[in-house]
Amino acid sequence: MSSDAKTTKKRKALSSSADAEDAPPDDAASSSSAAEAQSPKKPPNPYDSIKHCIVDNDGSHDSLVKLIGLKSLFSRQLPKMPKEYIVRLVFDRRHRSLALLNPDPEVRGSDEEIIGGICYRAYPEMRFAEIAFCAVSASQQVKGYGTKLMNLLKRHAVTEGVDYFITYADNYAIGYFKKQGFTKVMCLI
């Protein structure tokens, strides 16, 4: 049996986080203004406080520094993956990456700035994206960053016209992807 498993993600999960954000809070505070009373305040989004960015190879210095940090992270966390393959995909102009950034200003611009990342390639004409790499720094694991990373990617994917994700996961990563709602059965509707 192969150590890889083909997985897919349906749109329902993509839109569920956006739908939850649009729901008004249960205990909206009363206001003295009629206009404010008609539009209830949205609850704070827990992902707004996380520093993150979408990085692509646009040739700018800042993007290249972040891509090098992502390449280093993927190389450290995915030791069985050939380094040349990681470099080729991370720096490919058709691939984009979502990077979680360390809020500490002392590590800005270094490899330690990137605490997690997902490298993917979107195929908007077919409404899906392939996740090539997904990793969180060893020192930052078991803190929920993997879930936050995937949820941020789902939110962003909607803006790119992506309804589905596919990926190939080794036996160690299958549990993570199942936790994120992926299945081994591919069913595009």
Of 181, 122, 147, 157, the closest CA to residue 47 belongs to 147
Q: Is the dihedral of CA 42, 103, 134, 121 positive or negative?
A: positive
- Asked if 131 contacts 152 with a C-beta cutoff of 8 angstroms, the reply is no
Which residues form the catalytic set? 130
CA–CA gap between residue 101 and residue 108 (Å, rounded): 9
CA neighbor of 128 nearest in space, from 80, 75, 186, 68: 186
Contact 124, 157 (CB under 8 A): no
- Rounded Cα gap, residues 105 and 109, in angstroms: 9
